Structure formats: structure tokens, C-alpha cells
Amino acid sequence: MNCVVSVGNAKEYDVEGLKQNISKRINDIGGFESIISRSDRVLLKPNLLTSAPPTRAVVTHPSFVEAVASLIIDHGAKVSIGDSPPLGNLNRVLSKSGYDDFMRRLNVEPCPFTKKRTLECVEGRVFRRLDLAEEVFDFDAVINLPKLKTHTQMGLTLAVKNLFGTVLGTDKASWHLRAGKNIDDFATVLVQIFEQVNPTVSIIDGILGMEGNGPNNGTPRFIGIVAAGKDAVALDAVLASLVNFPANMLRTSVIGQELGLGMADLSKITILGDELKGFPITDFRQAKSVTMAWNLSYWNPVRRFLENHMITRPMIDGAVCKKCGVCMTHCPPSAISETNGALSIDRKKCISCFCCQELCENDAIQVLEPLLGRFFSRVSR
Ligand code: SF4
Ligand code: SF4
């Protein structure tokens, strides 16, 4: 296993500067020859959560993706960009997020995920089968291009989490339902998806990241780094440490290591690249709901008490809500309903997956952190 992560400083999104920076990162981890071959068909998988201008730091910055696409084309390979955005179709998200211009210039094709393939998982895994986008497996190589952002359910969204986009539309909700409030079950799904897609490398856009209650409604925050690794578990662990996120709370890395898919122990990861000053960022604002990392497998009344008093939950801000109904349509357990023109959330049904908060374009879902949860999340860091 290649436990080398390369991290470089980056001040801005100029494509030529990024090409040089990303080339150095790739050289540190074995060079382009170890990732793709000439004449390969390569799929780039950025974070394309929803249509959003690059200044909002929701999607992987188009200049970052252009730099990677350009390097791969220079290497003699052909490039496509694919994802399955939960809201809107891929072409619209690409266009509204500023990708059109460079895709036209570089002759990069969009690859919407529309067909499903059922994959048998490795013997002994928790989930035996996964339905993922068939198109992903039509390529010679997948290159994973996540954005460094906070995530209300998982704490952070980095390399492993980014491949949840290979699950088609409504199937995403069914995975949330199967995992319920058990954060480790959901982290396991993410790790198993990552294992199936098996990207050759992950390169993280951590220049303008997001803090607070991401991944859609957080606050853009300049972080100033570009990082790459073939071991995504290690890459995520390194990035989490740079933004001061507790290692044991990044469940995808903890479980990824347990399943033998990578190394989350920082003392065993070789970190190459630029000298990093000002890290870890001690005032980086984490998402409120990291209390979800507490797994509650206790006796039922105790569990219910802890869920009510510790787990972060959503609340609809009636003054901001535009009643578009998107949250209602996408809530996995149908916990949101409308009565007399006002939307409300059934607390008993809610699994705190925060899909509603992620998909609300109007930032009308607040994140409530109960007092006890706030206390325990502070002392556990
Ligand atoms: S998605 Fe947001 S704006 Fe739309 S109904 Fe739900 S809370 Fe209101
Ligand atoms: S109300 Fe929001 S957080 Fe609760 S289950 Fe529905 S989508 Fe998930």
C-alpha cells in the first residue's frame, strides 16, 4: 500500500500555477505513469453537489478540474467528467458552476450517470451488494477530485465521501435509510463504495474550502492547500489533521483502515511536499453535528434519551423557507410534512442524515445541537 500523501501550498486558482503544483504532487506519489497510461479513457469525479458559483466553495473549482484535465490530456489520455448530482442534471450543474468554457476548449465530455450496475462486494464485507453507476466502470481509470468541506452528517467531506456521487439519484436516500442514525454503518457504505470504484488517485481542492455547516450552506474559508494521494484513507486523515478535525471522528478513515483499504495512522503516513505554515488551523469552524459520531447501541430508553439530548437535528426556519418542497421530496424516511402551508419535521422519524440541510438552496434548515451533545463534542476533541 502506498501511504504517501503530498501536500502543496496554493494561493489562487490560476490554471498554469495549479498545473505545476498538481504535477509536483503527482510526482511525489509515483508520477503520472503510475496512475494512467497514454490513450486511457479517464473519468474525473469532482464534487458537483449542486449548481453553485466557485466563490461559494460548494463544487470543486472549475480551474482546479481544468488543470487536472489539461495534465491528463498532455499525457495522451482522453478525459470525461461525471457525477450524479442530487439536484438537477449534470449538464446544468456543470454549466452553472463554470465548467462549460474549459470543457469546450479541451474537448472534455460530460458523462451523466444514468445506468445502474449491481456489484458483488468482497467476501466478509458488511454490505454484500452495491448498485453503482455503470458508466464509472466503462473507463480505464477514475480520478477523484473532492473539495475540502465540512459536512453536517459526517464531519468532513473529503476523498472517500466524494464517491457517494457514483450512487444514482434516489438510491442515495435508501442508503441513508439503511444506515439510519448509525454513523458507522453509513461510513462503512461509503468505504465500500470507494473500494468498488477504486480511483487511481485522489487530488483534493483545498484552496478555498468550506467551514461551518457544510457541504452546501457553510462558509467559504481560504485554506490554501492542494493534496494528492493514492491511499484516500491516508489522504483524508492528513487533511483532517490540517483543519484540526479529531482523527477518531473521521469514521470513513477509521473504518477504511479497519477494512484494510488504507492507513489512517498519521505516524505511518509519509507526508511530502511544501513546508506548511499555520497548520493545523485551530479556529477552523467544524460542522455542529459531529456529535453524530457517537454510536448509540444501548438499551432502548437510554438510547432514546441520548438521541434526544445529544444528537444534532435539523429545524426548519419558517421565516426563510420558500416552501419549494425539495427537502420534503428528498427526506429518506419522509419525516418532513406540510400542514396549513408550514413545513415541520417529525423528530421520531428523522434520522439526522441532514440531506434536507444539504439540499436546501435557501439555507432554511438550521442545525440544532442539544446542550448535552455540545458539551460532549467539546470534551471529546
Ligand atoms: S428545501 Fe428549504 S426552502 Fe425548500 S421547503 Fe425545504 S426548507 Fe423550505
Ligand atoms: S428531516 Fe432532514 S435530517 Fe431528518 S431524516 Fe429528513 S432529510 Fe434527514
167-196 pLDDT, tens digit each = 998 799 999 998 887 889 999 999 999 999
Residue 250 predicted with pLDDT over 80: yes
Average pLDDT of 39-61? 97
Cβ atoms of residues 311 and 182 within 8 Å? no
Residue 296 predicted with pLDDT over 80: no
Residue 294 predicted with pLDDT over 60: no
As a three-state string, the secondary structure of the chain is CCCEEEEEECCCCCHHHHHHHHHHHHHHCCCHHHCCCCCCEEEEEECCCCCCCHHHCCCCCHHHHHHHHHHHHHCCCEEEEEECCCCCCHHHHHHHCCCHHHHHHHCCEEEECCCEEEEECCCCCCCCEEEEEHHHHHCCEEEEECEEEEECCCEEECHHHHHHHHCCCCHHHHHHHHHCCCHHHHHHHHHHHHHHHCCCEEEEEEEEEEECCCCCCCEEEEEEEEEEECCHHHHHHHHHHHCCCCHHHCHHHHHHHHCCCCCCCHHHCEEEECCCCCCCCCCCCCCHHHHHHCCCCCCHHHHHHHHHHCCCEEEECCCCCCCCCHHHHHCCCCCEEEECCEEEECCCCCCCCCHHHHHCCCCCEEEECCHHHHHHHHHCC
The fraction of the chain above a pLDDT of 90, given in percent, is: 84
Give the type of residue at 332: P
Question: How far is the CA of 78 from the CAs of 73, 134, 151, 326, in angstroms?
Answer: 6, 19, 32, 36
Digit-coded pLDDT (tens) for 35-44:
999 999 999 9
Q: Across all residues in the chain, what is the average pLDDT?
A: 93
87 lines ligand 1 (CB under 6 A): no
362 lines ligand 1 (CB under 6 A): yes
Position 1 confidence tier, pLDDT thresholds 50, 70, 90: low
> What sign does the dihedral 23-197-223-53 (CA atoms) show?
positive
The predicted pLDDT at position 309 comes to: 74
Lowest pLDDT segment from 21-35, 50-64, 166-180, 330-344: 166-180
Q: Which ligand is nearest to the CA of 326?
A: 1
Q: Which ligand is nearest to the CA of 177?
A: 2
> What sign does the dihedral 149-152-158-164 (CA atoms) show?
negative
The predicted pLDDT at position 291 comes to: 47
The fraction of the chain above a pLDDT of 70, given in percent, is: 92
Q: Which domains are seen in the chain, by residue range?
A: 4-273 (3.40.50.11440), 289-379 (3.30.70.20)
Residue 380 predicted with pLDDT over 90: no
Atom in ligand 2 nearest the alpha carbon of residue 336 = 1
The predicted pLDDT at position 293 comes to: 44
* Total Cβ atoms within 10 A of residue 200: 15
Position 2 confidence tier, pLDDT thresholds 50, 70, 90: low
Which residue has its alpha carbon closest to ligand 2 atom 4? 350
Position 292 confidence tier, pLDDT thresholds 50, 70, 90: very low
Q: Which ligand is nearest to the CA of 366?
A: 1
Average pLDDT of 207-233? 97
More confident residue, 304 or 246: 246
193 lines ligand 2 (CB under 6 A): no
Digit-coded pLDDT (tens) for 314-337:
999 999 999 999 999 999 999 999
Lowest pLDDT segment from 60-69, 106-115, 144-153, 293-302: 293-302
